[in-house]
Structure 1
Amino acid sequence: MFCRVLGLVLCSTALTVYFDSHSIGTVVLTSLACSLLLQLAYFASVLFLIWRSGLVSRAGQRAEDFGSCKEVGSQPPDHDEVMSESADLLQSQMLTISLLLP
């Protein structure tokens, strides 16, 4: 498909330039310049698609990270569990202090 479009554009450009200038040298030079511009445009479009796919993959990764953070934070701890953990921590600290004091 790309080769067909490239050939069509180059032939139409060559015919237009030839009917306008009646010079084969100008036709060859213009066709080469047109070919170079088309290749540059193709290369730039490929780079753009690569850049855009990178953005999409990074956005997807951020969405996954956000979703995992949201899942972790969506269930608040139970009040009784927090209190029992605090009491256990307090008991262990008091035991450590009592062992250190004579």
Structure 2
Amino acid sequence: MVLCSTALTVYFAFHSIGTVVVTTLACSLLLQLAYFASVLFLIWRSGCISRAGQRAEHLGSCWEVGPEPPDLDEATNESADLLQCDQMRAISLLLP
């Protein structure tokens, strides 16, 4: 529809088939570039949303408390996880 309206407008303005062809090709190229850029933007945005979801999922698991006390090996691993969770909480407070 855009290409047809552009072609008709150019033809009535300049009365030249050559100008219509060149203008229509240029318009079609611009439409393709805009489409490609919008697809790239959507891919980039979905990656950002996915990373934010993973970060929120990790923070949610950090705030869960287990019902029973862990053994010594689990306590060592859990203390390292808690340190990482504390760091993630601090970072999440700084992020908008």
TM-score normalized by structure 1? Answer: 0.63
The 4+ residue runs of structure 1 with deviation greater than 3 A are none
> Which of the pair is proportionally richer in helix?
1
Q: Structure 2: how far apart are the matches of 1:70 and 1:30?
A: 60
Q: By how many angstroms is 1:18 displaced?
A: 0.3
SS at match of 1:66: helix
Q: What percent of counterpart residues are identical?
A: 82
Candidates 19, 22, 40, aligned match of 1:26: 19
When Rg is computed on C-alpha atoms for both structures, the one with the higher figure is: 1
Cα RMSD (Å) of the superposition?
Answer: 1.5
Q: By how many angstroms is 1:71 displaced?
A: 1.1
TM-score normalized by structure 2? Answer: 0.67
The residue aligned with 2:81 is none
The residue aligned with 1:49 is 42
The residue aligned with 1:69 is 62
Q: Which runs of 5+ in 2 are unaligned?
A: 70-96
User: What is the number of residues matched between the two proteins?
Assistant: 68
